Structure 1
Amino acid sequence: MLVAAIFCLMIATRSSFLYPLNNWDDANSYFSMGKSIFNGQMPYRDVFDQKGMYLYFLYGIAYLISHTTFIGVFALEIVLGFLDVIGFYRIIMLFIGNENDAGADGDYKTSIAAAGFSCLTFAVIVCSRSFWWGGSAEEICLPLYIWGLYISVRYFKNIYPQKAMSFKDVFIGGLLAGFIANIKFTGLGFFFAWMMMVFFSFLSCKEFVNGIKACFVFLFGMFVTFIPWIIYFGIKGALFEWYWGYVYVNVFVYTDVESANPGTMGRINQMVKILYWLIRDNPQYFVFVIIGIIYAFFGKKQKFMTRLNVPVLFAFMFLGFFGGGRELPYYSLPLSVFAIFGFAFIGHLLTEYVLKDSNENKSKLLSFAALTIAVLLVYFNSMNVPFMKVSRDDYFMYRFRDRVLETENPTLLNVGCLDAGLYTLCDIVPSCRWFQTQTLNIKEPENNPYLEQERYVKEGLIDYVLVRDYIPESINDHYELCDKETYGWDGAEFNYYLYKKVR
């Protein structure tokens, strides 16, 4: 399973050493934010991006491993990917292992079959379009969803309704939800449904008081994950900046930019269309998601709550990400974790009718075949593979890097797009709060990113300005064009200009 995680990610993510650079602007923005933390700058106040602190902290650790490459991010993705595969294995074993024991591994043959299907599940996820270029916030969150899913399914499948969920498991669920809340809180729809189903199970077990207690235990688990950042921002007197940058901007500013309110029926119609196109764009895993949800609902000898659990978790996760009407390719990646139930169904059939009387060698052969198929699936389906053919010498951002590094201790400003990767390649710590152009409609003059970037250019406060498409009117007052390139992807084409300050 570890080998599968390594080889699948080695092909699927542009953070891998097989690629010249992970040139996704989101991933580079996270990298610059993490870098800034470990260079004494404070997120939201000194440098701005609107994701959560655990994402930046993990990227900061990756920066400590390698300052100018994504090798540290690749190592992080492998660790998290291995946790994904292990979590998938535990879920499959609930369906093809010893059902009388919530945590049993079953016999050797079923264990090795489960390992194979876990690898295949991981493969169809990372080779999908929603995996995008690798390193997304959604990818970082996957193990949190998977292990939350495991705890929930294990309880409703093997324990409910004999007794209520233990407070220990409820607390762990709260911890997982808290980490999600501090990475990308729109993903909390899943854990809202998770705790809702747990509370209903307490009611079903006629333990109303303990159900109320469980809600507080869950919330306490969430609160624990906030403690490090309460201390961090509290010591620096910046609790408001944390709230403003992460909560206020995402709730009241970012959503205002996205879309107008279409009304209830319009919203439902919008989400139906979104789901349709998600299925069209990501057939690699949605086939198994659909099969799996049907299997989880119509499986034999199940209690009513057990049948509802998986569809409800899926529905609330979908609402959390797409209820606002905003759609980007990588938003749907967390939905892919439900593909495990499709593979659990296939695994159940396989162990019941194929491996039942087989020997261990046959099981090993099938497991090796699953690993091979997993790697081939990624190689022939990942949208990133063609980028392997681009060498560092041919990629224009390395040429831009060489021009910037002609200046000792250079400073940089990114105008017209998010972080294009030049901060990473040059190992530059952003010196401007709005070090990249955000798609935010902030009306307050003191927090307006466009006015601040315009001031930096107009006053010549930065050594180099990397511009995409939009060229500031005052750029020629202090800067001269030293390089340019036209570059595109996914049907779009952009013009990049590198300006150097005239001394």
Structure 2
Amino acid sequence: MKKIINRLTAKNILMLVISFVCMFFLTTASPFYAFNRSVDANTMYTVGKGLLHGLLPYKDLFDNRGPLIYLIHSANAIFSYNSFTFIYVIESLLLFLDIAYINRILSMKLSARTAMFCSFLFIPLAFTSRIFYYGDLPEEYAMTFVLILLYSCIQYNWFDMPRRYYIVNGCFVAILFWIKYSLVIPWVIFFIYVGLACLFTKRFKKLFVIILDALIGFLSVTLPIIILYWATGALKFLFNDYFYLNLTALPCAKRIARIHAI
């Protein structure tokens, strides 16, 4: 608690306030909008609400995203059943982390004032693109996690990186894997690089520790999901719908949609 209070500097408070103010207008999940026009957000929210009524994604309700994104929307339904307020809070906190870590990275080479100014330029660059659209996207989580990964890679050499960073990145991989598994590519590249570096420099013990730490982080998120679906007899639905159909049926559907568009 004391550590958190110590980090409540004027700069961090300013970034936090600006993040909440900006997301108030940028995402249709915010209380500023009477209705969330995002089809994807409403789909995720519907499936998330189903969890509160004993309906499991894939077994009882179908959508092609990962189970963790529905759990997040279930938490939103507990917080506010008829709005997306909790999602708005999450998006605001993610934006705060984006700005904070960009500021940390830029502060390594720029003055404090210049780094702060450039950090805020991230907002129009990222959130005025069509990729963002109405907000409430899996990519928002990935963007924050990638910035934290980038900061840790710049801050430390791979062999000096504290063990907690490998555990945290293992958690990040698991979170994104169970939200939208195509978003884990940066970590695949990172861990392949670290693994090869360990092999070439004959740091075999270090490689074992890194793998162990990454697995601890990954399994801390993954095991509860697997246990839930195994205990409810829905594990086959999870693997069939989330993995098999996404890898086979969805690409075909997208190709057909492009043909119809022509």
Compute the displacement of 1:204 (Å): 5.2
Root-mean-square deviation (CA, aligned residues, Å) is: 2.5
Q: Map of 1:24-173 to 2, 5 A cutoff?
A: 24-96=38-110, 110-155=111-156, 159=157, 163-173=159-169
Match of 2:11 in 1: none
Which letter does structure 2 place at the counterpart of 1:3?
Answer: V
Which letter does structure 2 place at the counterpart of 1:86?
Answer: A
Structure 1 residues 115 and 39: CA distance shift in structure 2, 3 A: farther
Whole-angstrom distance in 2 between the partners of 1:169 and 1:72: 27
Q: Deviations over 1:42-87 (max 9, x none)?
A: 1111111111122111111122222222223212211222222222
CA contact (8 A) 1:178 1:226 kept: yes
Match of 1:21 in 2: 35
CA contact (8 A) 2:20 2:89 kept: no
Question: Which segments of 5 or more consecutive residues in structure 1 lack a partner in the other structure?
Answer: 97-109, 261-325, 328-491, 493-503
Compute the displacement of 1:26 (Å): 0.6
Specify the SS of the correspondent of 2:121. helix
Match of 1:445 in 2: none
Whole-angstrom distance in 2 between the partners of 1:209 and 1:245: 39
Whole-angstrom distance in 2 between the partners of 1:171 and 1:17: 35
Which letter does structure 2 place at the counterpart of 1:30?
Answer: M
CA contact (8 A) 2:99 2:120 kept: yes
Aligned: 1:226 with 2:222:
yes
Compute the displacement of 1:164 (Å): 4.5
Which residue of 248, 251, 267 corresponds with 2:244?
248
CA contact (8 A) 1:64 1:72 kept: no
Which structure dedicates a bigger proportion of its chain to strand? Answer: 1
Structure 1 residues 204 and 112: CA distance shift in structure 2, 3 A: farther
Structure 1 residues 84 and 253: CA distance shift in structure 2, 3 A: same
Q: Deviations over 1:281-309 (max 9, x none)?
A: xxxxxxxxxxxxxxxxxxxxxxxxxxxxx
Match of 2:18 in 1: 4
Structure 1 residues 112 and 33: CA distance shift in structure 2, 3 A: farther
Which letter does structure 2 place at the counterpart of 1:68?
Answer: N
Structure 1 residues 212 and 72: CA distance shift in structure 2, 3 A: closer
Structure 1 residues 198 and 166: CA distance shift in structure 2, 3 A: farther
Please report the TM-score for the alignment, with normalisation by the length of structure 2.
0.83
Whole-angstrom distance in 2 between the partners of 1:231 and 1:83: 31
Whole-angstrom distance in 2 between the partners of 1:154 and 1:25: 40
Which structure dedicates a bigger proportion of its chain to helix? Answer: 2
Specify the SS of the correspondent of 1:130. coil
CA contact (8 A) 1:165 1:198 kept: no
Identity of counterpart residues, as a percentage? 25
Specify the SS of the correspondent of 1:50. coil
Compute the displacement of 1:145 (Å): 2.0
Question: Which segments of 5 or more consecutive residues in structure 2 lack a partner in the other structure?
Answer: 1-14
Structure 1 residues 71 and 165: CA distance shift in structure 2, 3 A: closer
CA contact (8 A) 1:44 1:245 kept: yes
Compute the displacement of 1:180 (Å): 0.8
Compute the displacement of 1:127 (Å): 1.8
Structure 1 residue ranges, 4+ long, deviating more than 4 angstroms after superposition: none
Whole-angstrom distance in 2 between the partners of 1:167 and 1:237: 36
Please report the TM-score for the alignment, with normalisation by the length of structure 1.
0.45
Aligned: 1:192 with 2:188:
yes
Compute the displacement of 1:209 (Å): 4.4
Whole-angstrom distance in 1 between the partners of 2:178 and 2:97: 19
Which residue of 156, 169, 176 corresponds with 1:180?
176
Structure 1 residues 205 and 168: CA distance shift in structure 2, 3 A: farther
Whole-angstrom distance in 1 between the partners of 2:166 and 2:90: 27
Which residue of 215, 225, 235 corresponds with 1:239?
235
Whole-angstrom distance in 2 between the partners of 1:168 and 1:68: 38
Q: Deviations over 1:20-49 (max 9, x none)?
A: 312111111011111111222111111111
Match of 1:330 in 2: none
Whole-angstrom distance in 2 between the partners of 1:154 and 1:18: 38
CA contact (8 A) 1:30 1:55 kept: yes
Q: Deviations over 1:156-196 (max 9, x none)?
A: xxx36xx4544332222211111110100011111101112
Structure 1 residues 237 and 193: CA distance shift in structure 2, 3 A: same
CA contact (8 A) 1:170 1:218 kept: yes
CA contact (8 A) 1:84 1:142 kept: yes
Which letter does structure 2 place at the counterpart of 1:64?
Answer: I
Which letter does structure 2 place at the counterpart of 1:180?
Answer: L
Whole-angstrom distance in 1 between the partners of 2:50 and 2:185: 30
CA contact (8 A) 1:92 1:114 kept: yes
Structure 1 residues 131 and 95: CA distance shift in structure 2, 3 A: same
CA contact (8 A) 2:141 2:176 kept: no
Q: Map of 1:357-396 to 2, 5 A cutoff?
A: none
Which letter does structure 1 place at the counterpart of 2:123?
Answer: F
CA contact (8 A) 1:199 1:212 kept: no
Number of residues of Structure 1 aligned to a counterpart in Structure 2: 245
Q: Map of 1:491-502 to 2, 5 A cutoff?
A: none
CA contact (8 A) 2:167 2:214 kept: yes
Q: Map of 1:479-490 to 2, 5 A cutoff?
A: none
Q: Map of 1:353-502 to 2, 5 A cutoff?
A: none
Specify the SS of the correspondent of 1:172. helix
Specify the SS of the correspondent of 2:61. coil
CA contact (8 A) 2:91 2:136 kept: yes
